[in-house]
Structure 1
Amino acid sequence: MPYINIKVTDEGVTKTQKKELIEGVTQVLVNVLDKDPQTTHIVIDEVPKENWGYNGKQYTGTKKQQS
């Protein structure tokens, strides 16, 4: 039973985009690992930007502030 957890920042990921992620990742597991989609679980967590960091800095979400 595969369990995949996708974490993204909370920057307006739409319901349609989440649906496509779930379908796409499930299909990759079917194609690559021959997993049963009936037992494949995908969870998407939206993390507030202020709780996301990289390169030792808090993620701001804007290109201007990322520089």
Structure 2
Amino acid sequence: MPYVNIKITKEGATAEQKGELISGVTELLEKVLNKNPATTVVVIDEVETDNWGIAGEQVTHRRRKGI
């Protein structure tokens, strides 16, 4: 039973986009690893940009600077 956890910053991904991620990852696991889609679990966690850091800096600050 595959379990996939996708973490993205909380910046407006739509329900449709999340649905595409879930179905796409499920299809990929079936195609590449022959995993049963009925037992594949995909979870999407949305993280506030204040709680996500890159290169020692909060994503919120990086976005403000245009990085």
**TM score, norm. by length of structure 2:** 0.92
Q: How does 1:1-67 map to 2 (within 5 A)?
A: 1-60=1-60, 62=63, 65-67=65-67
CA distance in 2, matches of 1:66, 1:8: 18
Task: Output the CA distance in 2 between the equivalents of 1:59 and 1:66.
Answer: 10
Identity of aligned residues (%): 55
Structure 1 residue runs of 4 or more that deviate by more than 4 Å after TM superposition: none
Q: Which amino acid aligns with 2:10?
A: D
- Provide the TM-score with structure 1 as the length reference: 0.92
Structure 2 gap ranges (5+): none
